[in-house]
Structure 1
Amino acid sequence: MAGRRRTAEATFQSGKGLAGLDQHQVRRWTSWHRWVTLAMLVHAFLATATAHERAHAPAAEDLIPLTCNEIQHLFTTLVTQPTHTAAHRLRWSNCRRRHQARSRTCHYQRQAVYQP
């Protein structure tokens, strides 16, 4: 049970950051219940979309897999606030993921050198 606490805390933190779970002022139980339900549905959507993408998308060598944060960002910029074209946003996402993959590789190489 002690090992599951960290997972639950990480999931709660992710829900606060991605879905706005902590951005409601509680005045009535009904409004709080609606807000928490909506936030949990959003977080479940992001987690499901991430798992589906990782299972069905071909693994690109120079890109990291899509994360919940990246899917949330793409959803926001493509659906709710379309200020640029979809092609522009997808190119930007690929560039960002490629940069993150390079950073992760360099970090792992640096850590391998410094380990005794």
Structure 2
Amino acid sequence: MHNYGDINYASVWGNFGEKLVSEYLVKNGFKVLHRNYRQRYGEIDLIAEKNEVVAFVEVKFRQNEYFSLSDVITRSKQKKIILAAKRFISMSDFVDKVFRFDVALILKEGDNFRINYIENAFVES
């Protein structure tokens, strides 16, 4: 993580990535409900809804597409996201919704970016 002067580049890239994935979700019929939903348990990058499905989305940048999902999002991070999601659900008026945990991997390809979107990337165990 680089922090030059007052610029935190991890934060800048994170915001950029969340914006890209938000646009991707909207183009694919989702309504983005929240960005950077924070609870004391953890943070969820994006919460989006489509057809009675609520997706809790973790956004990550990758240098290449050869990875293990556990390298991208650790079990500890998954647990924090799950706890924050439970809190979100308990405070919402959602009834009869399906909830899932997705991961959006952003890959830089030259001057372009590609999103590898993984539905149901992990589950509560």
Q: Which structure has the highest strand share of the two?
A: 2
* TM-score (normalised: structure 2): 0.29
TM-score by length of 1: 0.31
| Structure number, greater radius of gyration | 1
Structure with the bigger percentage of helix: 1
